[in-house]
Structure 1
């Protein structure tokens, strides 16, 4: 009986390892975080154009699958290109590109294939949605990963464009995105990503320093990073008022979230441990985004209006 159990255990471990490698290669949580704004952008476009969700199911699946596959391709190419950095940083040393469980050639081919497939699928929605998808891909892969990440502290600002276009993709699949709502969503996401990323950079500053990545805390220190985070969070304050069409409840919740984050960002005088402070800000930023976009969805449900 023992000899029969051992192969089964080994098989289970092998399957778990494959799943873990795939999740790591596609940066599962990052991918999910980027898909949510695509969905919300799509949903809000339906709401503001008085279109029925059931009548656009084909467009919905094309948009969601196309954008997800395109973003997955970008994330895989990021893993392929950054293998030298990932080898040095503790948090990325178990990625399959580092361990060699998946060859770099395979990763490169997979990243290119997914990118092409995702872009083509988006072309079957609208050209505008595909253009926003390409802008996000090009910004993340070329301008951020290959050009600015290792050279300039502005890499965070440049990379923020790629995540900010996601609601535009969803909206443009239904209607032209030259509308106040998707534009404001773009601005909010763009601003949000900067203090969110700075918090991560502070938490992992020593790893970034060893990997020679030009993150703001590494080049200019924690005090400068904290000041810039507070400034960007202040910049978030006015934008919920441009989304009053989502209802007063949403505006109030979004404003409270913004004020709460500002309070957290200036709490460094009370929290002396910089790494603890960075972790608190990181957790707040993650929950901030989730609550904000879920509220946008809830605020436009028929029973809520």
Structure 2
């Protein structure tokens, strides 16, 4: 069996060093569409090193994306075909603001393995700290087609919100009523090619032939790119551009985005959190991100 759940869960955590500087942060911000208009003061805080603020979703690529989704698939007990892998969801908890230049230690482990029958779901957890203490905790939920059916724990019927999705709890209900704000964010045809320079080299996002083998008509945009675009929209639209107000951010990847499409981002805002739904405008509002919530001050 390609997945040995007991071995994966019992494996010793892997610890490694991460480092980044302002160039990494700026490249990530450009990869999620920052910098347009280029001279807009609100955009310069994402692109100009003298006034740089770090969007919290940068945590998903800090240190060139180590270990990242593909890196996590090399953990003990895990041996799968990359063409069967989809990123199912992502949770991020920010313990304090991320500096524009930093060095830290990342501890990575398999936090959960679920048997969904026709697929397996892995929860890859990364905890990052520097000498001053914890910085962030990332959970990536990885959906692997054709790797279920060994009789293991099915896990929750839907990955829950709360501070970390894999911690259990009750899934949130879909937003109801009209959103308080709706914005549209276009993506570029070369968006995935730019975003992958931050560390996610999965050929699904660049190689047409690989994309066809994986069942897609052409390369798709990284789910984490859409994740970053969406958080930036929430911060800029509802939080006054203040990245330090974000406490946690969780989503489920409900559908693909093809580079060049426009994202419609609907927001239901309260003082402590914002519920979000994202769809692809050109495909009759096909869902892209669902069960999405940003917790903030």
Structure whose CA Rg is larger: 1
Per the normalisation by structure 2, the TM-score is 0.25
Higher strand share: 2
Per the normalisation by structure 1, the TM-score is 0.24
